[in-house]
């Protein structure tokens, strides 16, 4: 545990220690007890040497050490924190400084993945977005499981989190960014997650206001914040959409899902919640449903931006807990998901303005 106020000299050694929490000397007893309670137990982390229990209390008037900035940007590196990675996983031991993009003035993007009905593939799309965007901005992507009752991001990514969404929106984490970072769970692909609650009862304690505040906190630290929402337009989904810069709106090739999307769009228009950019994604696209892309657009009233073809490989990847963009390989579904990722790549050359071209289902 690191207790520090002021920055002089810290950056040279703080990143070399297995720091589990960073607290201010003025932290309350409750915050200290919470940090101690979060520390790994039962042999999940080797017992540190006495010299590793350091209390560095320096005057805040001292000149800041520039090397500390890299520590702050990657304070939750899985190579230095057993809280944010599974034991034995050294895949994130040498991260790059993903937060440099924020320092360079590139605005953060909050991407809400929504659908009117369950089973539309929100979690599959959200996890693959995280994998793809982590290649663009390593260690500056965070995925939030905002399905407070039945979120399954952890399952879809084969993660065993030590902290979940209720932990991230309560206690010291709600006011201290460093404590919040310690509650994130890292993924080998180079991004972080706020996994869903362990039970619906725990999840029900999270309010829409708390979720909105969490998203705002993360948007100040990460270039991409991806929010996997619950079906429909409940309190938490509306909070995510209200904070979002982009909305990925999913629908399938069924009349019920298309009408549901149309209804959702009408409601959002009436209540005045509309992210700056909308990406309509047709999932499970095929030519055997009896419907065409033209039918989808006529029913929903909006153009389809991208179609993800139905694929058995997507189902297999979900069951294995390895997103299809992480597994690699060439297939139409992976190509479509990579195309969705490219829509958020600000470094890509700008496209010429032209009329919307209708999506073709292969």
Pair (61, 4) in one structural domain: yes
Query: What average pLDDT does this structure show over 86-90?
Result: 37
Residue 354 lies inside a defined structural domain of this protein: no
Res 106: pLDDT: 76
Q: Tens digit of pLDDT for each residue in 254-280? A: 999 999 999 999 999 999 998 889 999
Pair (20, 101) in one structural domain: no
Pair (105, 251) in one structural domain: yes
Res 89: pLDDT: 41
Query: What average pLDDT does this structure show over 67-92?
Result: 37
Pair (25, 128) in one structural domain: no
Res 61: pLDDT: 36
Res 356: pLDDT: 55
Residue 362 lies inside a defined structural domain of this protein: no
Ordered alpha helix ranges (H), 1-50: 11-14, 29-38
d(CA 137, CA 222): 9
Statement: residue 44 has pLDDT above 70: no
> 126 by DSSP, 3-state: which?
helix
Pair (14, 106) in one structural domain: no
Res 346: pLDDT: 81
Res 221: pLDDT: 93
Pair (334, 202) in one structural domain: yes
Res 20: pLDDT: 60
Q: Tens digit of pLDDT for each residue in 134-177? A: 999 999 999 999 999 999 999 999 999 999 999 999 999 999 98
Statement: residue 41 has pLDDT above 70: no
In the sheet with 141-145, reading across from the earlier edge strand, the strands are 185-187, 191-194, 141-145, 224-228, 109-114, 246-251, 277-285, 306-309
Statement: residue 79 has pLDDT above 60: no
User: If residue 167 lies in a helix (H) or strand (E), which one and from where to where?
Assistant: helix 165-168
Pair (312, 176) in one structural domain: yes
Q: What angle do CA 6, 7, 10 make, to 5 degrees?
A: 130
Residue 174 lies inside a defined structural domain of this protein: yes
More confident residue, 6 or 263: 263
34 lies in which domain range? 1-73
Res 274: pLDDT: 83
User: If residue 113 lies in a helix (H) or strand (E), which one and from where to where?
Assistant: strand 109-114
Burial profile 60-79: b = 16 or more Cβ within 10 angstroms, e = fewer: eeeeebeebbebbbbbbbbb
pTM of the prediction?
0.71
The count of domains in the chain is 2
Boundary (domain end) residue, out of 73, 107, 136:
73
Pair (209, 279) in one structural domain: yes
Pair (121, 178) in one structural domain: yes
Whose CA is closest to 11, among 57, 83, 64? 64
Pair (313, 205) in one structural domain: yes
The CATH number given to whatever domain includes residue 251 is: 3.40.50.300
Residue 206 lies inside a defined structural domain of this protein: yes
Statement: residue 285 has pLDDT above 70: yes
Res 131: pLDDT: 97
Res 107: pLDDT: 84
Pair (98, 67) in one structural domain: no
Pair (183, 324) in one structural domain: yes
Residue 126 lies inside a defined structural domain of this protein: yes
Query: What average pLDDT does this structure show over 44-58?
Result: 39
More confident residue, 58 or 246: 246
Whole-number average pLDDT of the chain: 79
């Amino acid at each position: 545990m690191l207790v520090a106020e002021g920055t002089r000299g810290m950056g040279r050694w703080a990143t070399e220690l297995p720091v589990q929490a960073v607290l201010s000397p003025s932290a309350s007893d409750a915050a200290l007890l919470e940090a101690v309670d979060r520390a790994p137990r039962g042999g999940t982390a080797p017992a540190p040497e006495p010299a590793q229990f350091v209390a560095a209390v320096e005057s805040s008037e001292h000149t800041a050490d520039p090397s500390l900035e890299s520590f702050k940007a990657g304070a939750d590196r899985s190579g230095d924190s057993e809280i944010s990675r599974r034991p034995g996983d050294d895949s994130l031991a040498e991260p790059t400084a993903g937060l440099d993009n924020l320092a360079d003035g590139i605005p953060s993007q909050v991407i809400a993945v929504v659908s009117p009905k369950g089973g539309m593939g929100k979690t599959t799309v959200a996890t693959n977005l995280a994998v793809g965007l982590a290649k663009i901005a390593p260690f500056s992507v965070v995925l939030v499981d905002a399905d407070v009752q039945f979120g399954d991001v952890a399952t879809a990514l084969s993660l065993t989190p030590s902290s979940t969404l209720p932990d991230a929106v309560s206690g010291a984490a709600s006011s201290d960014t460093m404590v919040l970072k310690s509650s994130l769970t890292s993924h080998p692909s180079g991004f972080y997650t706020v996994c869903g609650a362990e039970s619906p009862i725990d999840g029900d304690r999270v309010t829409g206001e708390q979720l909105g505040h969490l998203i705002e906190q993360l948007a100040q630290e990460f270039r991409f914040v991806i929010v996997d929402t619950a079906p429909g337009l409940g309190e938490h989904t509306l909070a995510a959409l209200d904070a979002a810069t982009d909305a990925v709106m999913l629908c399938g090739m069924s009349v019920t899902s298309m009408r549901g999307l149309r209804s959702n769009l009408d409601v959002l228009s009436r209540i005045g919640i509309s992210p700056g950019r909308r990406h309509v994604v047709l999932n499970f696209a095929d030519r055997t449903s009896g419907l065409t892309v033209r039918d989808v657009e006529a029913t929903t009233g909006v153009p389809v931006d991208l179609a993800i073809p139905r694929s058995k490989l997507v189902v297999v990847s979900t069951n294995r807990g390895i997103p299809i963009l992480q597994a690699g390989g060439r297939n139409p579904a992976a190509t479509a998901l990579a195309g969705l990722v490219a829509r958020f790549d600000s470094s890509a050359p700008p496209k010429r303005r032209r009329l919307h071209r209708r999506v073709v289902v292969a």
